[in-house]
Amino acid sequence: MASRTDLANAIRALSMDAVQKAKSGHPGAPMGMADIAEVLWRGFLKHNPTNPNWADRDRFVLSNGHGSMLIYSLLHLSGYDVSIEDVKSFRQLHSKTPGHPEYGYTPGVETTTGPLGAGVSNAVGMAIAEKTLAAQFNRDEHNIVDHFTYCFLGDGCLMEGISHEACSLAGTLKLGKLVAFYDDNGISIDGEVEGWFTDDTAARFKAYGWHVVENVDGHNPDAIANAVTEAQSIIDKPSIIICKTTIGFGSPNKQGTHDCHGAPLGDDEIAATREFLNWPHAPFEIPADVYELWDAKDAGQEDENAWNEQFVAYKNAYPELAAEFERRVILGELPEDFSEKAFQLALTTQQKAESLATRKASQNTIEAFAPLLPELLGGSADLAGSNLTLWSGSKGIQDDAAGNYIFYGVREFGMSGIMNGISLHGGFINYGATFLMFMEYARNAVRMSALMGIQNIFVYTHDSIGQGEDGPTHQPIEQIANLRMTPNMHTWRPADGVESVIAWKSALEYNEGPSSLIFSRQGLPSQARTEQQVEMIEKGGYILVDSDSAPEVILIATGSEVELAVKAAAELNASGTATRVVSMPCTNLFDEQDEDYKQLVLPNSVTKRVAIEAAHVDYWHKYVGFGGKVVGMSTFGESAPGGELMKHFGFTVENVIKTVQSL
């Protein structure tokens, strides 16, 4: 019968063989962490390979995602739908084994981990979701939410700033079900890290409020198992297990060096490694007894069956809670009547016709929607009083684990990465807020949300130079275009309270990617609309004001500039220039409409077009064409009251009319 060493060496062999076949990849980390992975996956991890999405499974995150052959080997050996042919197709087009683990490609991969540090922030989010969901649903002896989040990470993850943001908050929130394993191998691509990374990692994590297990031999299964058992026993702190390992363990001439970090070992070194490890098997050949000991399907099904029985008892005792759990966690569906109620709120808001900042309209919408959606989990990277993300029922999870709001502190990047983890875990719809300008700090995590196609609602306020006196450091110019050009992202910039309600409604119903909701600091007037026009807002762009005859000119605007377009159109129509105003709060949704609708709103026959937005001009040329112009920004802003800046940069009725006349 195979030994534990054989079981770990199976990971090493598959990893070096797949990287060699692909002529690309990172064999060092999988070979160095194989012993840790064998102990965790065979001795502790609660999972079911035949149902990778079982609700109460443990979550496993490989934050050092360049070592992707580690998780692919584990999934294959454990019995997931990852065949040996999939392993052989490592890094090939449309394979289940891409270069870095990608959510949605491979069964059992919980998150996409390419950028270092992203995975550990996701793991913090998953642990937050587990703790909050448990507090909301568990009753008495019925612990239907009770699982761990395990995360592997390396030197690179710890050097990236997002790890500080996320791990600092994890300690504050006392996430006792989060266990991280630090692969302390002392090597990165450039060589030995002691030349650029001399942090006292143990002291750092103790300062965060983590439980730290130091000096664990990462190649000693008993020492690793004891460390995991110790970490699991600490219920009021997250734990980090610092494992000293040898990168590329088993490669006699390259282990312990950067030569095995990010390049294939080479045929000669692989042959030497097989001899060193006493692994006489051909490439991609795994002995039957090794497969037998790795297979987790039966044990995993038993764990899930036990949980299913537990859930039946829970359902009998708490039928309403169980129904909510099924809706939120298992099905991931909104309440059946939500869409209708949300639209009615839009109609009511239209009738009120209030002039207000769209950030305030956003808060009013949250106030109305949150009681309908117990799955709504809000937050802000500080600035809640400016972003207006708090509502009357907000309860911080730091005081009440069953709460519905996260005070992220000044951690925009960490917040966005954590939001990804919460979304991936399931059971919640996230929203998190900051100033639009500080999306730049979070950009990578926002992109990862879109790349994975997961639902998050990013709330961004202070949307333009109109926010005023803070000056160009706080005034976004190119950021809106950046968000609009991100695949899978829906980016909204509403003009008033009604469009703000529809933006929130759309974001809550859109679950194939994130939404960015961009709101103003300054007050904006309510625009007049019919009920049919309110319905059209969800198409992303619609005719807000039309001329009595066929339009000669079309003004396209978003956000605060819609008011400007409406005023300019009134003067143009009065002077005999037939002018249409198109409000386009979400260009992404407008682009998704059929050609007939787009031609109805923006007919090709009307070539005189002017787009108006206090953001970068370049984005709008695809809508105005060669015959049109853009009133927008091509420089950074200035420090002055918002109204003065708008005039200074040409956002006036006079300049819009002048621009139209110049066509």
At residue 1 the predicted structure's pLDDT band, cuts being 50, 70 and 90, is: confident
CATH 3.40.47.10 fits 538-662, yes or no: no
pLDDT of 122 higher than 90:
yes
User: Which parts are annotated binding residues for thiamine diphosphate?
Assistant: 66, 114-116, 156, 185, 261, 438
Q: Which residues contact 516 (CB under 8 A, 6 or more apart)?
A: 439, 446, 458, 460, 483, 489, 490, 491, 492
Convert 19-66 into a string of H (helix), E (strand) and C (coil): HHHHCCCCCHHHHHHHHHHHHHHHHCCCCCCCCCCCCCCCEEEECCHH
Domain-by-domain residue ranges, the chain? 4-301, 337-519, 538-662
617 Cβ neighbours under 8 A, 6+ residues apart: 630, 632, 633, 634
Contact 503, 492 (CB under 8 A): yes
- Whether residue 4 has pLDDT greater than 90: yes
Q: Residues marked as binding for substrate?
A: 26, 261, 359, 386, 462, 470, 474, 521
Percentage of residues of the chain with pLDDT beyond 70: 100
User: Which amino acid does the sequence have at 640?
Assistant: A
Q: Which two tokens stand for residue 374?
A: 């117990």
| Nearest in space to 577 (alpha carbons), one of 652, 651, 663, 495 | 663
Average pLDDT, the chain: 97
Kindly report the CATH number that applies to the domain delimited by 4-301: 3.40.50.970
CA distance 620 to 628: 10
Residue 173, C-beta contacts closer than 8 angstroms, at least 6 positions apart: 128, 131, 397, 398
Q: Do domains 4-301 and 337-519 have the same CATH topology?
A: yes
**Which residues participate in the annotated binding site?**
26, 66, 114-116, 155-156, 185, 187, 261, 359, 386, 438, 462, 470, 474, 521
Tens digits of residue pLDDT in 389-424? 999 999 999 999 999 999 999 999 999 999 999 999
Burial (CB < 10 A; 0-12, 13-18, 19+), residue 393, is middle
Q: What is the mean pLDDT of residues 281-289?
A: 98
Q: Which two tokens stand for residue 653?
A: 């009725």
Give tens-digit pLDDT for 37-60: 999 999 999 999 999 999 999 999
Q: How far apart are CA 634 and CA 613, in angstroms?
A: 11
Positions annotated as catalytic residues are 412
Overall average pLDDT of the 483-498 stretch? 98
Q: Assess if CATH 3.40.50.970 describes domain 337-519.
A: yes
pLDDT given for residue 422 in this prediction: 98
The per-residue pLDDT for range 582-596, each reduced to its tens digit, is 999 999 999 999 999
Q: 75 has which bridge partners?
A: none
Rounded Cα distance between 441 and 560, Å, is 25
Phi-psi group of 375: left, alpha or beta (phi > 0 → left; psi -120 to 50 → alpha; rest → beta): alpha
Per-residue pLDDT band for 284 (boundaries 50, 70, 90) equals very high
Q: What confidence score (pLDDT) does residue 320 get?
A: 97
pLDDT of residue 565: 98
pTM of the predicted protein model: 0.98
The secondary structure of 560-588, three-state, reads CHHHHHHHHHHHHHHCCCCEEEEECCCHH
Task: Specify the pLDDT at position 626.
Answer: 87
Closest CA to 106 of 116, 96, 114: 96
69: pLDDT strictly greater than 90? yes
Q: Pick left, alpha or beta for residue 79 (phi over 0 → left; psi -120 to 50 → alpha; otherwise beta).
A: left
| 332-352 residue pLDDT tens | 999 999 999 999 999 999 999
pLDDT tens for each residue of 162-206: 999 999 999 999 999 999 999 999 999 999 999 999 999 999 999
Mean pLDDT of 129-157: 97
